């Protein structure tokens, strides 16, 4: 067995064009698991991001951001003559955002089918924690999914913990709820820590309450579940207890981008440093509350350092 090494976050880094208050678009990099990876790295953890990008200047900027943030990029594969996915973000009144994606043909979708995919697989099997999302799963073909799920099984046998945020986006699954559920069920059999959002689960599974989400996930044998339940609270469930953990301070969001991604990072960072689940959820609320006070997914590093 290889030596256990840090955290591996798996997913897609997109080029983001976000319209500012002046009507102009600003360029940045983002993506749900990429945002979480960066916030985990900011917490001082050893984190690498596993994905694939092109060999263009925009892909270079993804690697440059990873370097600035102390996020390991040696598992970001480069694919010649290809471009990364693009998202265009416009904020509606009240901090809600409308996102449109151009990601067909982006290399991230082929991560587990590229010639070098075994290098990703080998690293995953020695990880301390593996983190991915429903958006990650939506990227891959059945071949890619089969490989990822097989690797997760080996990794867990080697002592890795697997954390998963359902992050269900109907459009990413082309509206095919049946396939989504089938893929999620296979993934959930291999999860130790589930970090779903209640609104997503209600759409995908018809859950009437966060408690129902917990019961459904516990049926898969998942020992630790945190259901993010809007701006008010999170329901933390372990095998022995369930507790609603309130948001310590209600924040009117400037921009809700990455609220869930940063919550997950805050929670996992606190758990990895020894906090109990309820305490970790409070820390997660705090980080998410800081993040939504700022436009964009990543709050300025200077402010991050103050907390």
| Residue-number span of the structural domain to which 140 is assigned | 5-306
> Per the structure block, which two tokens stand in for 203?
């759409």
Spatial distance between the Cα atoms of 4 and 136, rounded to a whole number of angstroms: 23
Q: Are 286 and 275 in contact (CB under 8 A)?
A: no
Catalytic residue positions, numbered: 261
**pLDDT value, residue 90:** 86
Q: Does pLDDT of 199 surpass 70?
A: yes
Mean pLDDT value of segment 35-53: 96
How many domains in the chain?
1
Q: Does pLDDT of 305 surpass 50?
A: no
Name the residue with tokens 């859950």. 207
With 0-12 / 13-18 / 19 or more C-beta atoms within 10 angstroms meaning exposed / middle / buried, residue 276 is exposed
Spatial distance between the Cα atoms of 188 and 87, rounded to a whole number of angstroms: 28
**pLDDT value, residue 95:** 61
Per-residue model confidence as pLDDT tens digits over 227-274 = 999 877 999 999 999 999 888 777 766 666 767 899 999 999 999 999
How many CB atoms neighbour CB 175 within 10 A?
9
Per-residue model confidence as pLDDT tens digits over 98-147 = 889 999 899 999 999 999 999 999 999 999 999 999 999 999 999 999 99
Sign of the CA dihedral 179, 182, 186, 192? Answer: positive
Helix (H) or strand (E) run with residue 15 in it: strand 14-19
With bands split at pLDDT 50, 70 and 90, how would you rate the model's confidence at 22?
Answer: confident
State the Rg of the chain over Cα: 18
CATH number at residue 136: 3.40.1190.20
Mean pLDDT value of segment 24-33: 92
Mean pLDDT of the chain: 91
């Amino acid at each position: 067995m290889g030596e256990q090494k840090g955290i591996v976050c798996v997913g897609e880094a997109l080029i983001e064009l976000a319209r500012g208050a002046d009507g102009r678009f600003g360029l940045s990099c983002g993506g749900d698991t990429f945002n979480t990876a960066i916030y985990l790295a900011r917490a001082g953890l050893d984190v690498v991001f596993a994905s694939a990008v092109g060999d263009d200047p925009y892909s270079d900027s993804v690697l440059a951001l990873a370097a600035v943030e102390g996020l390991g990029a040696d598992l970001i594969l480069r694919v010649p003559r290809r471009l990364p996915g693009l998202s265009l973000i416009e904020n509606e009144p009240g901090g809600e955002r409308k996102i449109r994606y151009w990601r067909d043909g982006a290399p991230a979708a082929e991560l587990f089918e590229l010639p070098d995919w075994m290098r990703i697989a080998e690293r995953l099997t020695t990880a301390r924690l593996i983190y991915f999302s429903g958006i990650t799963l939506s990227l891959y073909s059945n071949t890619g999914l089969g490989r990822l799920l097989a690797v997760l099984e080996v990794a867990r046998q080697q002592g890795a913990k697997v954390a998963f945020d359902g992050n269900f986006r109907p459009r990413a699954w082309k509206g095919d709820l049946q396939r989504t559920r089938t893929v999620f069920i296979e993934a959930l059999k291999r999860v130790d820590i589930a970090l779903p959002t209640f609104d997503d689960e209600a759409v995908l599974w018809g859950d009437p309450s966060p408690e129902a989400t917990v019961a459904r996930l516990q049926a898969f044998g998942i020992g630790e579940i945190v259901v993010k339940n809007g701006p008010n609270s999170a329901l933390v469930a372990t095998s022995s207890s369930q507790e609603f953990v309130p948001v310590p301070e209600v924040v009117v969001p400037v921009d809700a981008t990455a609220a869930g991604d940063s919550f997950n990072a805050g929670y996992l960072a606190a758990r990895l440093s020894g906090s109990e689940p309820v305490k970790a959820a409070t820390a997660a609320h705090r980080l998410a509350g800081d993040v939504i006070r700022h436009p964009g997914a990543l709050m300025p590093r200077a402010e991050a350092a103050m907390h």
